Amino acid sequence: MTDLSRIRNFSIVAHIDHGKSTLADRLIQLTGTVAERDMKAQLLDAMDIERERGITIKANSVRIDYPAQDGQTYVLNLIDTPGHVDFAYEVSRSMRAVEGSLLVVDATQGVEAQTLANVYQAIDAGHEIVPVLNKIDLPAAEPARIREQIEDVIGIEAHDAIEISAKTGLGIPDVLEAIVQRLPAPKGDRDAPLKAMLVDSWYDSYLGVVVLIRVMDGVIRKGDTIRMMKTQATYKLDTLAVLKPAMTQIDELGPGEIGVFTASIKQVRDTRVGDTITHEKKQTATALPGFKPSVPVVFCGLFPVDANDFEDLRDAIEKLALNDASFTYEMETSAALGFGFRCGFLGLLHLEVVRDRLEREYDIDLITTAPSVVYRLHLKSGEVKELHNPADMPDLTLVSHIEEPRIKATIMVPDDYLGDVLKLCQDRRGIQADLTYAGTRPLVVYDLPLNEVVFDFYDRLKSVTKGYASFDYQLTGYREDNLVKMQILVNDEPVDALSMMVHRDRAEMRGRAMVEKLKDLIPRHMFKIPIQAAIGGKVIARETLSALRKDVTAKCYGGDATRKRKLLDKQKAGKKKMRQFGKVEIPQEAFISALKMDG
Amino acid sequence: MPEVTRFDEGGGFGLYLHWPFCQAKCPYCDFNSHVVSRIDQNRWADAYEAEIARAARETEGRVLRSMFFGGGTPSLMHPEVVDRAIAAARAAWPAANDIEITLEANPTSVEAERFRGYAAAGVNRVSVGLQSLRNDDLRRLGRLHSAEEARAAVAVARDVFPRVSFDLIYARQDQSVEDWREELAEALAMAADHLSLYQLTIEDGTAFGARAAAGGLRGLPDEDRAADLWEATQAACAAAGLPSYEVSNHAREGAESRHNLIYWRGGDWVGIGPGAHGRLTLDGRRIATETPLAPGEWLARVEEAGSGESLREEVSRENWLAELLMMGLRLREGIDLGRVEPLGAAALEGRIGGLEELGLLERVDGRLRTTVTGRPVLNAVLRELLT
Ligand SMILES: Nc1nc2c(ncn2[C@@H]2O[C@H](COP(=O)(O)OP(=O)(O)OP(=O)(O)O)[C@@H](O)[C@H]2O)c(=O)[nH]1
Ligand SMILES: C[S@@+](CC[C@H](N)C(=O)[O-])C[C@H]1O[C@@H](n2cnc3c(N)ncnc32)[C@H](O)[C@@H]1O
Ligand code: SF4
Ligand SMILES: [Mg+2]
């Protein structure tokens, strides 16, 4: 156990790509926490999907021993956090487990949307903040200007911001000293009953459920029997360890310390992030306040391609949810797709990441239905209902009016692209709320319907600004608008999984785009197939897929009979991957591509 | 005479001999063909003879309606080898009076020189692989002959053999419907009474297959152009008196390939040579046979084990029905429903009805056949019927 005065706990926060994970690498490396031969770039981004996309998705913690200039060795617990807005819940959770933050700002980019959002969260959490100017090695770095910008835009002291290059290692010793000198030590009472915060948990195929905790008061030891206060589950600890970042066994953890335990936990539902862990016998009187639950803003259905995989999908979703508290799910059935789950996400990237992880880590092929936001239906009866799934839209005659969620979108963009960004927001039914300058960079604030952002806003924004815009949003509330449910009919049969809610004024455009896309995606059949978008009974867009004209094997002689028969057998098996809509078969891939929000 | 051919339902009995060598491998071709520096032709003649004698033991007394030397490039065979194989077959089975003996030939001048030798050996029909009458396209198809040589070879063939057919490959890269109409008109002008017109198929495991997979081989027709090319072909051939009697085969009445009709009508044939397949109906059971693809392996088997077969299995009734439909629906005449009923065709009633409603199949006089619109989409029709 470590003396409180020699512990420092902190998170590393920044806008996406400003270099948090690279800074974490340098801190791990300079302190010799990981052997040189085991080092690799963004060491903590261990998931395949993180490495492929080059972004952090999960917050990760590491314990570092640092012999400081004062001659004392300190225990540092750092938590590297994701920068993308869709994973903001990871950041806010992490901040609750530590006392300070390193605020990384890319000295070539300056303050961006998520820089602001993270600073405010850190201030809320009562953190001491150490600003760090990164990427000083780049010729485009302007530390003096950015320092000023931090003071102007964020309003925090920045004259002692540390100039570093996480890439070359420049300035890293100063960061380590600042952590020790400028961040506060944790507080806690080692004689009080155990009170620990359940910060995170995940499923490991060898160890089972692994729980990450921060001890507030008391001491937890290997072999202890503990109780999760919210779920009332009790378990006996099998192992207790700290992350360096590999699990390293330890006998006990005292106040201020961060570590993990395993306890043969079978029910993954028993571990809820934010829960308080105490001893089974000597319990703490007051539980921690818990985390604010995250509010999913985008929903979609996830269905197994192969109906037989439903139970595997359920199991996979439960395990994944353990590791991702911002993801919600409930069972759903669809006429077209069978049994699946209606899932809630913090944004589209989040949706994509969860789907990808389910497919890869649990090896399940999935169909994703069109993403949708949560609408508020005001029924004529006076009842107010939440609509998560357009397929559940009641008869229009019962509905008095519909409200949709709106967001406050903050976009920072170089002057050159300002016009394009304003046009994009305007096209998406946006209302301009503010246009100011952060230094020389325009900062645009728009009031936008979330529904319009969910569709393909990020992609459009990225493409019109060549990737130079930064974007952040917050939900602001609900507002009534002229919203309708658009159905897609293939050969006159409605395909429930493709229905969506749209603004009446945008329905034609969206309907047209969808039917055109489907026309390319559905293979020709032996008859022609009308593909329509309709509101109520009214068709607003229509395409016709012509009948198949040519598909015959040119040469078929004696030796080809066997081959051809085997091909038909294979096609028979392939048919299972088709979804039948009346007489029309839609291949899985077509379905997935139609629902892709981009392109 | 034509009537007899058309409704000779059992399908008859024939012999297929595979010659697995070519001078060069064409980039589109996935036939079992190999390029080698030396061939011991005598050894091959011995092996054919031995295999014919072996096959005859279980098919004794059947009337041989046709023999077919296929390849590869059988026009690389020494006429002596052809002669010995024909003599062996004639000794093994009673031959029909009008037995058809076909040999596939490539149209280089060297090969045309051997034509008289083949005729003397008993070959009475050749099928010449012209592929194109345009030199640019012949080059793109990797052919070793020119259009001029091809025309000359057909002329020699017509002089030497009573029956001549030739093959063309269309739906080539950058081929417009107009270009093809012109080329086909020239071909029809030099045709005797039979033509095989194949749309270029990109096969896996060929040079074209690899190029197409790598995004090369541009200018191939999309489905609509392939359909336009098909329709232009049907119209031009019909107008010239050589309507299609099978998906890719066109003939004057009575000039159909008797040998190939055995396959399409679900008859029996013995398959000899590397990679040759056979089908025999023995005691009411349908038997499929196969041989190894590698020439050396096949020879060794024949010489050492006394049989070239590497597989012999019974075709289930379900698969037999599938084969009859797959092959028979390629023919304009279609299939005799009476023949497929015992194999459980009744179970397909609903699907057949649906395809009739779509105008793709029709039932006339107890026969089931594809309509003019059904034939070019036969694969889809078969998927509907059989999957
Ligand atoms: N030139 C230079 N590049 C840097 C520096 N620090 C980070 N980078 C590069 O910036 C990119 C993003 O770095 P990361 O460390 O992944 O950024 P991050 O903030 O962790 O990103 P997210 O976790 O996705 O929010 C990578 O390509 C790094 O190599 C630096 O000091 N100098
Ligand atoms: C066994 S092959 C060739 C016989 C002979 N060796 C020749 O090349 O002339 C029979 C015919 O199939 C056709 N053929 C081969 N491969 C083809 C392909 N990939 N697409 C279309 N037709 C093909 C050619 O017309 C060829 O003449
Ligand atoms: S097309 Fe004919 S010559 Fe060319 S490789 Fe095939 S069999 Fe041989
Ligand atoms: Mg990162």
Q: Show the tokens assigned to A510.
A: 């969206």
Distance CA B336, CA B80 (A): 41
Q: Report the 3 state secondary structure along A289-318.
A: CCCCCCCCCEEEEEEECCHHHHHHHHHHHH
Q: Rounded to two decimals, what is the model's pTM? A: 0.70
Question: Quick count: other Cβ atoms within 10 Å of Cβ B34?
Answer: 15
Token pair in block for residue A296 = 């999913």
Structure tokens at A470: 């930064």
Alpha-helical regions (H) of B134-268: 135-140, 147-160, 177-190, 207-213, 223-239, 258-264
Phi, psi of A301 (to 5 degrees): -95, 140
Closest ligand to residue A45's CA: 4
Q: Are residues A172 and A92 in the same domain?
A: yes
Q: Using DSSP, how many helices (H) and how many strands (E) does chain A show?
A: 13, 33
Closest by CA position to B104, among listed B17, B30, B186, B162: B17
Average pLDDT, chain A: 91
Judge if A85 and A216 occupy the same domain: no
Mean pLDDT of chain B: 95
Question: Judging by DSSP bridges, how do beta strands B95-105 and B285-290 pair with one another?
Answer: unpaired
* pLDDT above 90 (res B253): yes
Q: How close is the nearest chain B Cα to the Cα of A366, in Å?
A: 24
Give all strands of the β-sheet with B285-290 in edge-to-edge order. B244-246, B249-251, B194-199, B163-170, B125-131, B95-105, B64-71, B13-19, B268-272, B278-282, B285-290, B311-314
Ligand showing the shortest atom-to-Cα distance for residue B28: 2
Q: Whose CA is nearest to atom 9 of ligand 1?
A: A19
Split at pLDDT 50, 70, 90, the class of B17 is very high
CATH of the domain at A93: 3.40.50.300
Instruction: Find, among A514, A515, A500, A491, the residue nearest to A580 by Cα.
Output: A491
Lowest mean pLDDT among A387-391, A415-419, A505-509: A387-391
* CA distance linking residue A531 with residue A512, whole number of Å: 10
Does B330-387 match B8-262 at the fold level? no
Interface membership of B11 toward A (CB under 8 Å): no
**pLDDT-above-90 percentage for chain A:** 66
Strands A538-545 vs A529-535: parallel, antiparallel or unpaired: antiparallel
- The domain boundary, picked from A137, A153, A182, lies at A182
Chain B residue with the nearest C-alpha to that of A559:
B277
Q: In terms of domains, do A156 and A54 share one?
A: yes
Nearby residues of B373 by Cβ (< 8 Å), 6 or more positions away:
B359, B360
Partners of B332 on chain A (C-beta within 8 Å) are none
Q: Is A20 annotated as a binding residue?
A: yes
Residue A177's pLDDT band, with cuts at 50, 70 and 90, is very high
Q: Which among B40, B43, B22, B23 is positioned nearest to B31, based on CA atoms?
A: B22
- Identify the CATH number of the domain in which residue A580 sits: 3.30.70.2570
Return the C-alpha torsion angle B71, B77, B82, B88, nearest 10: -80
Number of structural domains in chain A: 5
Return the minimum-mean-pLDDT range out of A49-53, A366-370, B36-40: A366-370
- Residue A365's SS3 state is coil
Please identify which residue in the block is written with the tokens 């070019």. Answer: B376
* Alpha carbon of residue B382 to chain centroid: 20
Q: Closest residue (by CA) to atom 4 of ligand 3?
A: B26
CATH number at A422 reads 3.30.70.240
CA of B20 to the centre of ligand 2 (A): 13
Q: A56 in a domain, yes or no?
A: yes
Residue A379 amino acid letter = L
What is the arithmetic mean of pLDDT over B23-41?
96
A176 and A246 in a common domain: no
Q: A133 CA to middle of ligand 4, Å?
A: 16
Specify the pLDDT at position A420: 94
> Domain check: are A39 and A150 in the same one?
yes
Of A550, A557, A571, Cβ closest to residue B227: A550
By residue count, chain B amounts to 387
Do A515 and A412 lie in a common domain? no
Q: For residue B174, what is the enclosing H or E element? A: none
Token pair 């392996």 in the structure block, residue: B297
Is A17 a known ligand-binding residue?
A: yes
Q: Is residue A286 part of a domain?
A: no
Asked, for residue A293, whether it belongs to a domain, the answer is: no
Same domain, A303 and A448: no
Flag whether A445 is in a domain: yes
The percent helix, strand, coil of chain A (3-state, each to 5) is: 30, 35, 35
Contact B124, B101 (CB under 8 A): yes
Same domain, A315 and A233: no
Here the ipTM equals 0.94
Element at A207 (helix H, strand E): none
Closest chain A residue to the Cα of B377, Cα to Cα = A551
For residue B252 the two structure tokens come to: 């004057």
Percent of chain A beyond pLDDT 70? 98
pLDDT at A594: 73
Q: Shortest CB distance from B223 goes to which of A550, A554, A564?
A: A550
Same domain, A71 and A12: yes
Q: What is the pLDDT of residue A469?
A: 80
User: Do A288 and A274 meet the contact criterion of CB atoms below 8 Å apart?
Assistant: yes
Task: Residue A217: give its domain's CATH number.
Answer: 2.40.30.10
Separation of CA B113 from chain center: 24
For residue B73, which ligand has an atom nearest its CA?
A: 2
What is residue B8's predicted lDDT score, i.e. its pLDDT? 39
Q: Identify the band that residue B140 occupies on the pLDDT scale cut at 50, 70 and 90.
A: very high
Please give, rounded to a whole number of angstroms, the shortest distance from the CA of A96 to a CA of chain B.
53
Contact state of A571 with B387 under an 8 Å Cβ cutoff: yes
CATH 1.10.10.10 fits B330-387, yes or no: yes
Q: Which of B22, B30, B108, B132 best tests ligand 3's pocket when mutated (most atoms within 8 Å of CB)?
A: B22
Sheet holding B335-336, edge to edge: B335-336, B367-370, B361-364
Specify if A307 maps to a domain: yes
Atom of ligand 1 nearest to the CA of A170: 31
Closest listed residue to residue A89, CA positions, set A385, A389, A327 = A327
What residues of chain A lie within 8 A of the CB of B276, using their CB?
A: 558-559
Q: How far apart are CA B257 and CA B246, in angstroms?
A: 10
Nearest CA in chain B to A547: B377
CA distances from B22 to A230, A560, B31, B35 (A): 79, 20, 10, 5
Pick the last residue of a domain from A428, A448, A481.
Answer: A481
Question: How far apart (Å, rounded) are the C-alpha atoms in residues A209 and A261?
Answer: 9
Same domain for A213 and A271: yes
Q: Higher model confidence: residue B199 or residue A455?
A: B199
Looking at residue B5, what is its pLDDT? Answer: 36
pLDDT in tens, A320-365: 888 888 899 999 887 777 899 999 998 878 988 999 899 888 999 8
Which neighbouring-strand residues pair with B168? B131, B197
Contacts of B262 in chain A (CB under 8 A): 558
Enclosing domain of residue A254: 195-279
Query: Residue A274 and residue A89: Cα distance in Å, rounded?
Result: 12
Q: What is the DSSP letter of A371?
A: P
Residue A9 contacts residue A99 (beta carbons within 8 Å) = yes
Cβ–Cβ under 8 Å, residues A85 and A113? yes
Is A389 annotated as a binding-site member?
A: no
Residue of A nearest to B201 (CA): A554
Torsion of CA A554, A560, A563, A564, to 10 degrees: 50
Give the pair of three-digit tokens for residue A29.
Answer: 């490396």
Interface residues of A toward B, Cβ cutoff 8 Å, are 524-527, 548-559, 561-562, 564-565, 568, 571-572, 575
Domain ranges of chain B: 8-262, 330-387
User: Residue ranges of the alpha helices (H) in A490-559?
Assistant: 504-521
Residues in chain A: 599
- Separation of alpha carbons A429 and B324, rounded Å: 62
Phi, psi of A381 (to 5 degrees): -70, -5
Strand partners for A79? A11, A61
A461 CB-near residues (< 8 Å, 6+ apart): A411, A421, A424, A469, A471
**Interatomic CA distance for residues B127 and B164, integer angstroms:** 6
Residue B328: list chain A partners with CB under 8 A: none
Binding residue per annotation — A459? no
Give the integer Cα–Cα distance in Å for A206 and B197.
Answer: 62
Examine the domain organization and report whether A359 and A493 are in the same domain.
Answer: no
Q: Do B379 and A553 touch (CB under 8 A)?
A: yes
What is the predicted pLDDT for the residue at A577? 64
pLDDT at A35 over 50: yes
- Least confident among A199-208, A520-529, A566-575, B122-131: A566-575
Give the Cα separation of A55 and A85 in Å (integer).
12
Residue A285 lies in a domain: no
- Per-residue model confidence (pLDDT) at position B2: 34
| Residue A73 lies inside a defined structural domain of this protein | yes
**Residue entry with tokens 């059947």:** B62
Q: Which two tokens stand for residue A227?
A: 């109780």
Is B263 close to A558, i.e. CB distance below 8 A?
A: yes
Give the distance (Å) from ligand 4 centre to CA of residue A253: 27
A472-507 confidence digits (pLDDT tens): 787 889 999 999 999 999 999 988 878 889 999 989
Answer with the one of A419, A450, A481 that is the final residue of a domain: A481
Q: Rounded to an integer, what distance in angstroms lies between the CA atom of residue A234 and that of residue B61?
A: 86
| Beta bridge partners of residue A278, listed in sequence order | A227
Tokens 């085969």 identify what position? Answer: B249
Radius of gyration of chain A (CA): 27
Interface of B with A in 307-366 (CB under 8 A): 319, 322-323, 326-327, 330, 355, 358, 360
CATH number of B8-262: 3.20.20.70
From the list B143, B132, B145, the residue with the least C-alpha distance to B28 is B143
From the CA of A17, which ligand is nearest? 1
Strand A225-228 versus strand A220-221 pairing type: unpaired
Question: A133 and A20 share a domain?
Answer: yes
